[in-house]
Every structure is written in structure tokens, then in C-alpha cells.
Structure 1
Amino acid sequence: MARSTGRLSIFAGTGALAPLAVQAALAAGYKVQVLSLTPREDVTDVKVIAADVANPLAIIWALKVFRTTHIVMAGAIHLPDKAREGLIRFANKDVPSSGNAAPVGDATLAALGSVLKKMSGADLVGIHEIAPDLLAPETTIAGPDLVDADLAFARFALRTARAIGALDIGQAAVVSGHRIIAVEDIGGTDALIARIGELKRQGLAGDGAARLILAKAIKPQQPSFADLPAIGPQTVINCTTAGITAIAVEAGRSLLLQRAELLDTANRLGISVVGLRLADE
């Protein structure tokens, strides 16, 4: 692959994706700066600028000073309602106000990417375009193979995750057979898994023949440059603690973080990880 001569600004949210994005971009030949939306010490070798979504003009300035040609969003971005309202006002500053400044969901906020593109002249690209090896394949990725019945339940879990994504709620769901146990909300996947553990301890789920399956799917209306579903070794560890024994992700549309460690952890703990495609893709 030809080395890039571009200048890449990485918006770093929470999670393990940001340092992986930096290393992949440097290996591809990009000049890189990181606009960090949360304090972190795991990003090295490049300039890191603390970014505040409450000050979007400073972000635009940082993009322009760096002569940014490409923008990548790496990691989850957690915004309180006040910050969301401010961003929406900024994005719509040339549009007459309807008087409704109600907070909006993450998929709607992803449309703000067009504002960054318009004001900086940079192209928004997905992390998978910089590091395609992060994408989940369509196969058993780690752990024991799922039997046909469990594969059917895993597809049901993925369809459930897709459905709640269509409502702009979250990207993940947990099922037991064809019973929906819980879905991701604003608290994120880790909070969902923790709730499953509590439900299991209360005897409300996970004590029957059907295994607990976690599934993560991209929101149907979500642009591919923003927050693709991702799992890593910590996801596997959390699932083990909660009694979840299988994880399903969308093949080609989800990210595997720290892949070698993820595979080793899942194999060691006996957690099945599988990449599937939904029939309506």
C-alpha cells in the first residue's frame, strides 16, 4: 500500500482505539496530531492537544493550523446534554432556529462531521480506512464454535442491536435464546454488561439452558466514520464476570481492538467470539 502524504487529525475519545489509530496512521505515512476529548496518557509519538467540545472554534483553528487533510474519530465520545445543545447551535448557526434546542442522540451528532469538513476543508475517514486489519472477519474469531441454534440466537441478538440502534439508543444487546434481556443505553456497553451480571446474580437471567449472548451492531443511520462498534480483551473479561459466554459482532462493520490479546483472552476463558453478517446488508 502506498504511503500517505496526508495530515491526519485524530479526535480521541475514550477507550483503546486512539493509540491504535495513531500507530496505524504513522505506519501509513500520515503526519498526525491528536485532539484529545478526554485526558489520557497512552498516546505518544505525536502532538496531543486538549480539545473541548464547548469551544468548537478552537477545534476548527487547531485543524487549520495543522493543515489537516483528513479527520478520524477514534473512541467513544460522551457528551452531556448541555454540550450537545451547544454543538447543535454551532452547527446550525446559519439556519433559522426553531426554538427547540432539545438534546439529540449520537447518530444525529455524527452529522456535525459535515460541519468540520466544511469549515476545515478536511475529509472525514473511518478508522477502518486507516487500519483495515481492525475489522472483524465473518467467521469464528475466538473461543469454541457456536452450534447452529446458538448461531441463530446470535443473529437474533445482532438484529436486536440493529433495532435499538435505529432508535438511536445504543449499539449492543444481550439475549438468552429469543428473549431480550437488556439493551445498551447512554451508559455504554460496559454498563450494559455490568447490569447483566446483576440480573444474573438476582436469578432473573442466565440460569437456563440458553446461553447469554452479547451482540454489537452499527446503527443503521450512523456514518461509517463515527464510532464503529468495537470489542477488546476487557469486553471479554467483563462478559466472563457477568456470565455472558458468547459475543457476536457485525463482520466488516465492527472493530477488534488489541486483537492478539482479545483472541488469547477469549480462548483462555472459553468465550465464543463470532463475526456475522445480517441477511439485509
Structure 2
Amino acid sequence: MPGTPEANRTAIIAGSGGLAAEVAAGLDAPIVAALEGFAPDGIAAETFRLERLIPFLDGLMDRGVTRVVFAGAVRRPALDPEAFDPLTARLVPRIAMAMRQGDDAALRELIAIFEDAGLAVAGLREVAPQLLPASGILAGRVTAADDADASRAAEVVATLGALDIGQGAVVAGGLTLAVETLPGTAAMLEFTAQSRSGRGGVLWKAPKPGQDLRIDLPAIGPDTIDQVAAAKLNGIAWRAGHAVLLDRERTMAAAEAAGLFLWSRPDD
């Protein structure tokens, strides 16, 4: 019938960066929506406010959306108490309690809200598995010292990640130079670049232990290559199948040009 919404559509809840565009390229006419202030790169997106989340979710379902996927970086937005609609306002205590428990709890609560509204939440491993490299060396050469540093960094991230601290660490010569905290990977690498005089070491990226893998997977892209090169590291390693490689060909070429390795590392 004319005017009937297309059924079983997918909506991409986009954040900043290029991930949403890469996910959209593999889907059939998805709706792309971004939280106000976090527009994605390379693709147009309608915007919504967290203070009006329930009307936004109802609108998605009215347009035939049955599944959503989160793609891109988002930081906690500033909320306007006067902008809440009555239905979304009822969620404030629930969201506030989760946010006090840390980022993981807040993200899990966000997923639960979408599911309670009747929307299935899919992960990138289901929707865009091509963006998550299997195990292998994609650029450069990995030495035994790099392997040891990657193992040590993986231990650091697993230990700190269990405390909901971050998804990355920098290790060189067995010494932990930096760990990822709330400011993110770029801030960690900038600190590394400014605080060392030597060369070598590895950036490790992996999800936190017990993290819901449908949201907030680590991502590596061309910008990461520039930052790692500036920090004078040897390369980047990540848990195979658990990190997104953005703009794959460009990122691999940039790594080769910078003399860095890219290693999708199997679990020990």
C-alpha cells in the first residue's frame, strides 16, 4: 500500500568517525541517525536528542525499523532537564543509576532501553563482519619483542578493563607507558609521544572483559596510524575478531608507509 513503511529495516545509530558510513555500505537502505553533536563522517544522518529518546524510538518503529546497530564514537552528552518529554523523563533514574556504575553499565542500560522498546540490537560481528579482521599480520613485520609487548599489554587491558577503565594500553620493552582512560586512545598516544625519548613498543586494543560486544568495539583507522607513528611505536595489535579496522586499504597502506605493523592477534 502507498505510504506503508518498509518492514524489517535496520537503523544505524551513528557516532562520530567513519564507521557508520562503512556499515551503511553493506546494508539495504538503512536509516542513519546520530545523537545531536556527534555527526558521522561520510554519510548524512538525521539527528535526535537523548532527552527525547522514547519518541525517537517510536518513530523508528513507525518507519518499519526492527533492528538497530551502533556505529561510531559518542561521549556522554550534556542533558537539558527542561527538554525531556514525559515518557523519556521516566527513564532518568534508570539511566542515572547505570551511569554512576561506569561506561559499561551505561551502555548495557542503553541496549536494554532499545530492546524494551521492541527493537533488536545487533552487533557489528553480525551486521558487518568484514570490518573485523580475522587473525593475521596485515602490514609490516612483528618481532619476538613485539609479541612479548603485545602479551603484556593484553594483560594490562584485561586487568584494567575489568575495572571499566579502558580498551587500550601502550607497552614498550615490557614497561607500561600509558593506559587508555576516559579521554580516549588519541589522548593516550599523545601522552606517550610527549613523555618518551626512545622508540619501539606496541599499542594494544581489545574489548573489556565481559563487555557486551554489540556496542563500543575498539577501532583502528588512518588517524590511529598517524598517532602511533608520532608516538614512535612499532605497531598496533588487537584481539582478532574483536576490533574494527576502518578504511582498511588506506589504513594498511599508511601503516606500511610509516613502517608500522598491523596485527590481528589470536587469543593466547
Distance in 2 between the 1:132 and 1:40 partners?
Answer: 20
Q: Residue 67 of structure 1 aligns with which residue?
A: 64
> Of 194, 197, 213, which aligns to 2:193?
197
Distance in 2 between the 1:76 and 1:106 partners?
Answer: 13
> Of 215, 218, 229, which aligns to 1:226?
215
**Given the superposition, is the C-alpha separation of residues 20 and 102 from structure 1 closer, same or farther in structure 2, using an over 3 Å criterion?**
closer
Report deviation, 1:76: 1.5
Report deviation, 1:155: 1.7
Show structure 1 runs of 4+ deviating over 4 A.
80-83, 86-89
Paired letter, 2:31: Q
Distance in 2 between the 1:131 and 1:146 partners?
Answer: 27
Aligned residue pairs, count: 253
Report deviation, 1:149: 2.6
In the alignment, is the contact (CA less than 8 A) between 2:18 and 2:41 conserved in 1? no
Between stretches 166-175 and 153-162, larger displacement belongs to: 153-162
TM-score, normalisation: structure 1: 0.82
In structure 2, the gaps of 5 or more residues are 1-6
> Of 169, 175, 183, which aligns to 1:173?
169
Superposed CA RMSD = 2.5
Paired letter, 1:275: S
1:42 aligns with 2:42: yes
1:113-151 C-alpha deviation (Å, 9 max, x unpaired): 0211111x12111122121111122111111x2122321
Q: Residue 4 of structure 2 aligns with which residue?
A: none
> Of 146, 152, 170, which aligns to 2:142?
146
1:123 aligns with 2:120: yes
**Given the superposition, is the C-alpha separation of residues 191 and 62 from structure 1 closer, same or farther in structure 2, using an over 3 Å criterion?**
farther
Q: Residue 240 of structure 1 aligns with which residue?
A: 229
Q: Residue 134 of structure 2 aligns with which residue?
A: 137
Distance in 1 between the 2:63 and 2:73 partners?
Answer: 23
Distance in 2 between the 1:275 and 1:35 partners?
Answer: 30
TM-score, normalisation: structure 2: 0.86
**Given the superposition, is the C-alpha separation of residues 253 and 244 from structure 1 closer, same or farther in structure 2, using an over 3 Å criterion?**
same
* Identical residues among aligned pairs (%): 30
> Of 222, 244, 249, which aligns to 1:255?
244
In the alignment, is the contact (CA less than 8 A) between 2:51 and 2:89 conserved in 1? no
Report deviation, 1:10: 0.7
